[in-house]
Structure 1
Amino acid sequence: MSGESVSSGFPAERRVRKTDEYSSVFTFRRSIRGRYFVLHFMPNKLAMARLGLVMSRKMAKRAVTRNLLKRLAREHFRHIADTLPSHDLALRLAQKTDAATRTELREDIASLFARLPR
């Protein structure tokens, strides 16, 4: 292979990683509620949106389920990250997803990001 390849990964500069960063987003107290998730947001001084994920064991017992939810959220974020405003985002699982289909979960995630104030 030659040349540079475009990464479809989830680079560290696009992540909310530290506890105090999550705390700042949650204490800013701005959020959008969906059927299964809540998207907390706070403007940042960076020129890009950053995403953090909170999938609790209380809401999704199996690690396989929690990992699936995180993969779905990261995948959607990667596709729209460049269109989002400069915000720190924390996507939190707020409802049990036992009866939900992947399509319903994707739609809920997509609707939250679409409703984010520009």
Structure 2
Amino acid sequence: MTVLSDSQPVAVAAARLDALARQTLPKTVRLLTPKDYQTAFQQAEKFANRHWTLIVKANQQPLPRLGLAISKKQLARAVWRNRIKRIAREAFRQHKIDLCGYDIVVLGRKGTESVTSAQLHASFEHLIKKIKLSELNKLSVKEQA
């Protein structure tokens, strides 16, 4: 079976849509290399609340990408760090479509080990809303200029 060169972009687009629709986090939606993280930290916006700090930078891709940087200094026990990562991945997975076009690095904060999972999830969703509002504000400023 031969593949036409014109159909290849269609296949790539279909794979990207599949990655958004899936209930998993494939490699295409994760920051994997140190270079990915460095790029995400350069000229990025910071969104924070009591439980999370999100470093957000627009990328040139149709998919959002997630990076986790939960340090031992912030959360001493591995159980706490793993729990925070699990909650962040789940919240990101549920809101992948809302975050298209962004690289997001999640930083853990001290004191989150004693907060309930529901509170952490709600807190993460609040930051996602702030990101979307920031995006809308930037678009309205560009339209006015």
TM-score (norm 2): 0.71
- RMSD across aligned C-alpha pairs, in angstroms? 1.5
Q: For 1:95 and 1:26, how far apart are their aligned partners in 2?
A: 21
Please state if 1:68 is matched with 2:83: yes
Residue correspondences, number: 113
User: Larger Rg: 1 or 2?
Assistant: 2
| 8 Å contact from structure 1 (residues 59, 97) kept in 2 | no
More off after superposition, 50-59 vs 21-30: 21-30
Q: Which runs of 5+ in 1 are unaligned?
A: 1-5
- 1:78-112 deviations in Å (ceiling 9; x for gaps): 11101223011101113332332222211221111
Partner of 1:27: 42
Instruction: Give the match for residue 102 of structure 1.
Output: 117
* Structure 2: unaligned runs, 5 residues or longer: 1-20, 136-145
Q: Are the equivalent residues in 2 in contact too, given 1:36–1:94 (CA < 8 A)?
A: yes
Query: What CA distance in whole angstroms lies between the structure 1 residues aligned with 2:78 and 2:126?
Result: 25
Distance of 1:10 and 1:62 partners within structure 2: 24
Q: Which amino acid aligns with 1:53?
A: L
Please give the alpha-carbon distance, in whole angstroms, between the structure 2 residues aligned to 1:7 and 1:84: 15
1:28 match: secondary structure: coil
In the alignment, residue 98 of structure 1 is paired with which amino acid?
Answer: E
- 1:48/1:86 contact within 8 Å kept: yes
Q: 1:3 matched to which residue of 2?
A: none
Counterpart of 1:40 (choices 50, 55, 75) is 55
Structure with higher RCO (Cα < 8 A, 6+ apart): 1
From the two aligned structures, give the one with the greater helix fraction: 2
Say if 2:59 and 2:103, in contact at 8 Å, map to a contact too.
yes
Counterpart residue identity of residue 40, structure 1: I
> Given that residues 75 and 109 in structure 2 are in contact (C-alpha distance below 8 angstroms), is that contact kept between their aligned partners in structure 1?
no
Superposition pairs of residues 49-64 of structure 1, within 5 angstroms: 49-64=64-79
CA distance in 1, matches of 2:22, 2:42: 33
Q: Distance in 1 between matches of 2:109 and 2:77?
A: 15
Report how far residue 36 of structure 1 moved.
1.6
